[in-house]
Structure 1
Amino acid sequence: MFAELPLHERLLKALAELGFTEPTPVQAAAIPEALAGHDLRVTAQTGSGKTAAFLLPMLHYLIEHPDHRAGTRALILLPTRELARQTLKHVEQLIGFTYIKAELITGGEDFKVQAARMRKNPDILIGTPGRLLEHLEAGNLDFSDLTMLVLDEADRMLDMGFKDDVLRLAEICNPKRQTLLFSATPGGQAMAQVVAAVLREPRELVINTVRDEHANIRHQLITVDDVGHKERVLRWLLDNETFEKTIIFTNTREQADRLGGVLRTHLDKVYVLHGEKDHKVRKQTLDKLRNGDIQVLVATDVAARGLDISGLELVINFDVPRSGDEYLHRAGRTGRIGHDGLAITLVAAHEWNLMSSISRYLRLNISQRLVAEHPGHFNGPKKLKSSGKAAGSKKKKLKKKTEAKKAGAKKTPAKKAAVKKPAPDTQGGFATPRKKPRGPVEA
């Protein structure tokens, strides 16, 4: 129960107004450690409630230790405008019974207006590294009074090339601050460098990592022949699956725009979201999806991280994601806390090996599904069979063993067969060849 945590009564009142009574596992683990003043490195899967896990301790400290003469006292860094805006919304929900002020600093908004807001010394700044660096170079930032720095979706920020920006911003912060780092994946060498440079003797918490399967999400794949076949199967899914809202993911902006045009001839109110869209258009699109004004959104991975959309029951990967981590970030848009979801991936022959490696990496049971109304030729790799030469070699081997046994002779090691029959790797829910498949089979 949140009431059992040592949080300020105004925060408990806000949580009660929002209908939150039970903390999620990441909140139950992180909040007491953060309240105790420790630096934290938290790895937890998307949709696990990480935002409240750092906001509640931050707000508790600001309420308990007011300082009206100080400048900005808390900074939250995020990789995208959408995530920053969503975090501001969560802050505003929790500070309703306090005098705490928060401001959003991201690209796509008036620079001078933002500078004027920062001169008013808001308690909390929420922003993206690129725009904050612009304000730093303009002389608008002063973090000498900062008491807490939060790096949220840190793995994504590093993937996007923000490592140097993050380190530079951390360098100008009060060295006595508390730092909390949250990510969905452990990260690689870049993450280790940031942790070493920014955190001090951090407590490490690993809870429901991105490799862990979402128990309430079903994972399916459908094999297809080509892009045209993908589009036919996609239209059938949109007509026959039951969902309130869905996101269709592509790997490129060009593919998202093209697919959006194709689907608009089939459905009304199909919207497209990617990084080249105007800031206001992106905001309006997400607001329409949240409000239920649109049901179908075609998007790149700009929508794959951290966005919390209620009623999102279906995710479709038109393109196989480039990595296992990106797969679960996409799938994690559905099946949010306490709700069921379905993630479907359309897999062509050239994408099979990538999908297979994602399945093994995440240890997911991804079931293969057939859409009988739109059958195709590719149905997964053809199992390799032993050649006649290998079969003949096996017969000779057996004959030698039999003759040796009859003669009472000492058994000698048999010669290695010229070709071994490879066993299919079924880990991950579907067969994967160890050698290059010979070609497609008829469905």
Structure 2
Amino acid sequence: MNDTPTLGDLRNQLVDEIVAKRPLPAPIEHALRTVRRDLHLPGLDPAAAYTNRAVTIKDNPDGPLALSCASVPSTVAMMLAQLDPQPGDRILEIGAGTGYNAALLAELVGPDGQITTIDIEPGVALHARRALNRTGFEHVRVMERDGLKGAPEHAPYTRMIAAVGLWDIPATWWQQLADGGRLVLPLRWRGQTRSVALTRHGDALVSDDMELCGFVPVIGQYGEHTVELAHGTVRLHHDQDQLVDPDQLAEVFSTPLTELWSQARVGNEETFDGIWLRATASDDMVCRIEVTKQALEDGVRRPTIPGRTPALVSGDSLAFLIAERDNADLERPSRLGAVGYGPEAITLARNLIAHVDDWSTDRGAVPHMTVHPAETPDSGLPKGHVIDKAHSRMVLFLTRANA
């Protein structure tokens, strides 16, 4: 008797793993159990296609991030749930990848729907086309073009989804999304990325869900900048509207550090990314700090996560989030704090602790977001904290889970 699991068994096991952590609408679960991811990843061990991990399909010769990859299946499922595709929908996907997500979308919209998927990379678009043909989705439209331009010749779309990270929402997308239509995209601001679900109401996009995620950035948007400190061993990533002067910060890590501690504690598996998200709803000093192994060896205080930790920057000073395990509370063995450098170290560390304390009193609260065209005057915006980008104005307003 052969007890080796079939690919169908492995696919179902993966979906079982996903739905155990996040229940899914029945049509999406069915699509995940039906569409074969392994056929979109030729050359990979078929069994490896049914592990919950991303797979690079095109390397980037100019940097560490891939040009294209197959997203983590649980992230694919989460974003499909945010998008909520319905039979008959006309959907535009930006970032064709392997074609797997387009196949799932085609399965969900049925024979009366239409799927258009676009990618700027010729090789990626060809990969998607061949995979979709191989899996029986020849009717999905694959186009090689700049995703920031969309595909106006097949608009309007009832739904749009981006499988690449965006710093801003292009003005062209507004023109192609039907009023009442839904847009799901990995949107980046203040150094962190969230999969945001937005519905168009006239000249406003209104959010109803935000989930932590990470995606390869779209080619052609350059709204985030990087400042290198401590001989390049520390990097600050900030938005173009933030005043971060590398000359002022050049010697910041040669100053004495200041540590402050909050009363907030976290468990081993508990996420605290909500601190970062919540802080962006009120504070324009929030950015991301990246501390390399060399910087840690040189004495820079270890952030909570060396590769991506929220920081506050003002003039010649900065502060960032830290954690320390002391086991005083077995359920939540780690306490959270802030470390500051520079003349304003104490002030910035206190400000960051205030963000931690605010989050700790209501850990499930997330900001409400509306997005408006860049030309919208202040008088046309709702109340909230405004972040200006090239093509849009984001407004964040904090709502509380226990309100």
TM-score, normalising length: structure 2: 0.33
- Larger relative contact order (Cα-Cα within 8 Å, sequence gap ≥ 6): 1
Higher normalized strand content (fraction of residues): 2
TM-score, normalising length: structure 1: 0.31
